Amino acid sequence: MNPPIDLHLFAKEAMRARGLLPEFSAPALREAGAARSATPERGGQIRDLRSLTWFSIDNDDTRDLDQLSVAEALPGGAARLLVAVADVDVLAPLGGAVDAHAAANTTSVYTAAGVFPMLPHLLSTDLSSLHEGQDRLAVVVEMQVRADGTVAQA
């Protein structure tokens, strides 16, 4: 009889074999911790869109809300669609340790053993997560879609 497999260890080994990073480096964790005291700012480009009815395709218990959407019916069967993606780079600057980890993995990795997040938990589930009632920066793309599904304006 074979000994039981440690799925967490197996997942980490599989990630490493594919060039992925299952753990965050000490510099990445320090950088994420420093983001707690950062005051992200984007100048006059910020619009407060919290009054809109945003929705997510994530599960109800998801803490990592990095993308939200709004859809609004327009005359003639058209629709206005807004897609918001968490603006992580204000907390994890380009070229930093968190950015390097995210660039290596490009996504969170979901396994039977658990989730290996692309960003440290402090960023992914808190400081950049688009939770209701929280001040967060996001990059928002707005488009109008015709009744036939083609994009009229973006």
Return d(Cα 29, Cα 18) in angstroms, integer. 22
Give the tens place of pLDDT for each residue, 79-133: 999 999 999 988 998 999 999 999 999 999 999 999 999 999 999 999 999 988 8
User: Is 136 contained in some domain?
Assistant: yes
Residue of 120, 98, 138, 127 whose CA lies nearest to 39: 127
Return d(Cα 132, Cα 49) in angstroms, integer. 11
Name the domain count of the chain.
1
User: Is 116 contained in some domain?
Assistant: yes
Give the tens place of pLDDT for each residue, 16-27: 999 999 999 999
User: Is 2 contained in some domain?
Assistant: no
User: Is 20 contained in some domain?
Assistant: yes
Residue 55 burial by Cβ neighbours in a 10 Å radius (0-12, 13-18, 19+)? exposed
User: Is 1 contained in some domain?
Assistant: no
- Which pLDDT band holds residue 42 (cuts at 50, 70, 90)? low
pLDDT (0 to 100) of residue 120:
96
**Range(s) of the domain holding residue 22:** 7-38+51-153
User: Is 114 contained in some domain?
Assistant: yes
pTM equals: 0.81
User: Is 46 contained in some domain?
Assistant: no
User: Is 15 contained in some domain?
Assistant: yes
